[in-house]
């Protein structure tokens, strides 16, 4: 900048900055530095480094600030999650309003555009105690090169090390393992049944090797374990392009090991598997009965874990339930985070169907969504398969998607089917036990507790009756219906429990609710939700 004093600017009529090019650089440099210091104390280290600190200011004309992100994923994520917050801090520090932030994907060769010179962030005042960690990561900006943004762990293998293993068939297959484009965090529907697993997976993706290692996800097939595992892989590949991500199933690991033994290439096998940065192993239960494979897996696990390489494992059962697995392997699985994924609750099943319909550009009526979500309670894969079948039938028959069509198409496809939605005689064995004690007994208590919790009314209000509140009256009738369907309690005993003059009130409520199941999706959804809660409590 020139040392000669500049003439005074006339008073600004708006809050837009009125500065020369050099002043814009200095002002933005200071504002961005202060913004980063604030954000460093607000976000965890992995989020701060991978998304906020990784942003590179490219240009500023007084109104528009252009940021370069290290990848398309980081650009979209930063724009979606942080743009409003960044704008607020920058307007505050620049003492202006009306700023516009734009985000572009900038490779390491892209230079900032401020006067064709990199933004000199490192020339800011010496950092104070509140400065963000690892400020040296900005030093590369002086040369117009974005520094590698990596979590605190051993560095991923670079391209040079890949060349050394170019003739290793195991290495090339591992590092090129395909991930499904549909299995990302953005496409994962979160609910009570999978919230811990999703949070653990996201934490692992943002802080490889330093957060939960290993991450062990378990649950029945079709609930989203593979989705979360591959979402971690996508996230890492997008934010850390040099990281080696290996996604294999337990069966693939076994096949590779058998091939290595047969061809006398065990050293190549070990180098390939023990030189990855993120190891994603799906369906580990498949190796439980294979002694030599378990031994090799154990040593591979130990090697990677000691190097702080991230390990993620899925199984159809918890570590303790893997009876054929060695105790030493089970204990290692338990040294990180273990998260189970349960069958989705009603609201989540509806959200999954709605998301799938949006992705397919379909308009599915709400009553059809509620019908399908109540009918299919087992897993997400079955839900999506049912929707695909319904869509195909409607398209081929050139028929609108209605509840009647869904009933016709799906009734022979699933065990849980219309019209009654009542359980079969073998359902709820634990619930349909002989009642003990006076009145309706323990079975009815289970139903009342589940209904009260699901509908947000007290158990006492349901039993007392006489309330003019519509929600309480509905809860009372639904409980009468469920008690009649799911317990062996005589109607005379139910009448005493609910304070009715005789059993005809119970019979009337049962008949009314049975009819409502056929015509009212709201009632259908409520009863399905209570049934689901009862299932989980048994």
Residue 418 — φ and ψ, nearest 5°? -75, 170
| CA dist list (Å): 115 to 56, 118, 221, 494 | 15, 8, 57, 83
- 225 is known to lie in a ligand binding site: yes
Query: CB–CB of 375/253 below 8 Å?
Result: no
CB-based contacts of 374: which residues, under 8 Å, 6+ apart? Answer: 346, 421, 524, 525, 527, 528
Rounded Cα distance, 362 and 356, in Å? 9
Residue entry with tokens 């590949």: 237
Residue 142 is encoded by which pair of tokens?
């002086």
Which residues in 299-365 belong to E strands, given as ranges? 310-315, 337-340
Distance in angstroms (rounded) separating the CA atoms of residues 244 and 100: 37
* Buried/exposed 427-450: b ≥16 CB within 10 Å, e otherwise: ebeebbeebeeeebbebbbbbbeb
Cα dihedral sign, 202-206-208-209: negative
The whole-angstrom separation of Cα 375 and Cα 293 is 41
The answer to whether 222 is annotated as binding is yes
Q: Which of 327, 324, 270 has its CA nearest to residue 301?
A: 270
224 known ligand binder: yes
Our CA angle for 241, 247, 248, nearest 5°, is 160
d(CA 287, CA 254): 7
β-pairing, 64-69 with 215-218?
A: unpaired
Mapping DSSP onto H, E and C, the string for 283-304 reads: CHHHHCCCHHHHHHHHHHHHHH
Q: How far are the Cα atoms of 127, 132, 154, 249, 528 from residue 135, in angstroms, in the given order? A: 8, 6, 19, 40, 54
Torsion angle, CA of 473/523/348/428, rounded to 10 degrees? 90
Residue 156, CB half-sphere, CA atoms under 13 Å: how many?
A: 24
Which of 221, 220, 534, 527 is closest to 375 using CA atoms? 527
226 is in an annotated binding site: yes
* Run of H or E including 245: strand 245-249
Known binding residues for ATP: 222, 224-226
Known binding residues: 222, 224-226
């Amino acid at each position: 900048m020139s040392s000669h004093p500049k003439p005074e600017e006339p008073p600004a009529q708006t809050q837009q900055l009125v500065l020369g090019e050099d002043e814009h650089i200095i002002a933005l440099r200071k504002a961005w530095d202060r913004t980063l210091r604030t954000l460093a104390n607000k976000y965890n280290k992995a989020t701060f480094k991978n998304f906020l600190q990784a942003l590179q200011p490219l240009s500023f004309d007084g109104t528009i600030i252009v940021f370069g992100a290290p990848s398309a994923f980081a650009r979209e994520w930063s724009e979606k999650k942080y743009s409003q917050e960044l704008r607020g801090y920058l307007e505050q520090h620049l003492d202006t309003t009306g700023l516009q932030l734009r985000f572009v994907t900038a490779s390491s060769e892209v230079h900032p555009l401020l006067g064709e010179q990199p933004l000199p962030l490192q020339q800011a005042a010496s950092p104070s105690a509140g400065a963000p960690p690892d400020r040296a990561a900005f030093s590369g900006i002086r040369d117009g090169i974005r520094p590698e943004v990596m979590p605190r762990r051993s560095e991923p293998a670079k391209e040079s090390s890949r060349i050394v293993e170019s003739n290793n068939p195991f290495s090339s297959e591992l590092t090129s393992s395909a991930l499904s484009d549909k299995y990302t965090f953005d496409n994962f529907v979160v609910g009570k049944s999978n919230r811990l697993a999703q949070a653990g997976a996201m934490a692992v993706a943002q802080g490889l090797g330093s957060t939960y290692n290993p991450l062990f996800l378990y649950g029945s097939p079709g609930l989203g374990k593979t989705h979360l595992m591959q979402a971690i892989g996508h996230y890492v590949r997008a934010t850390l392009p040099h990281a080696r991500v290996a996604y294999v199933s337990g069966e693939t690991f076994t096949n590779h090991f058998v091939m290595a033994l047969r061809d006398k290439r065990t050293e190549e096998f070990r180098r390939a598997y023990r030189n990855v940065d993120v190891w994603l192993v799906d369906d580990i239960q498949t190796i439980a009965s294979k002694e030599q494979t378990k031994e090799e897996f154990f040593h591979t696990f130990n090697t990677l874990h000691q190097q702080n390489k991230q390990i993620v494992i899925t199984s159809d059962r918890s570590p303790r339930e893997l009876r054929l697995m060695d105790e030493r392997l089970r204990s290692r699985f338990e040294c990180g985070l273990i998260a189970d994924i349960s069958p989705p609750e009603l609201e989540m099943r509806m959200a999954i169907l709605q998301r799938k319909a949006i992705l397919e550009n379909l308009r599915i009526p709400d009553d059809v969504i509620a019908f399908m979500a109540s009918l299919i309670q087992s897993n997400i894969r079955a839900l999506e398969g049912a929707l695909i079948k319904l869509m195909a039938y409607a398209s081929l028959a050139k028929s609108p998607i209605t509840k009647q069509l869904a009933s016709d198409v799906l009734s022979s496809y699933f065990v849980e089917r219309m019209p009654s939605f009542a359980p079969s005689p073998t359902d709820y064995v634990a619930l349909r036990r002989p009642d003990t004690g006076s009145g309706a007994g323990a079975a009815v208590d289970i139903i009342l507790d589940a209904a009260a919790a699901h509908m947000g009314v007290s158990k006492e209000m349901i039993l007392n009756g006489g309330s003019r509140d519509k929600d309480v009256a509905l809860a009372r009738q639904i409980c009468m219906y469920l008690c009649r369907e799911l317990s062996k309690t005589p109607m005379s005993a139910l009448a005493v429990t609910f304070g009715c003059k005789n059993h005809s009130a119970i019979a009337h409520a049962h008949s009314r609710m049975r009819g409502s199941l056929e015509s009212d999706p709201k009632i259908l959804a409520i009863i399905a939700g209570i049934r689901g809660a009862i299932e989980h409590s048994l």
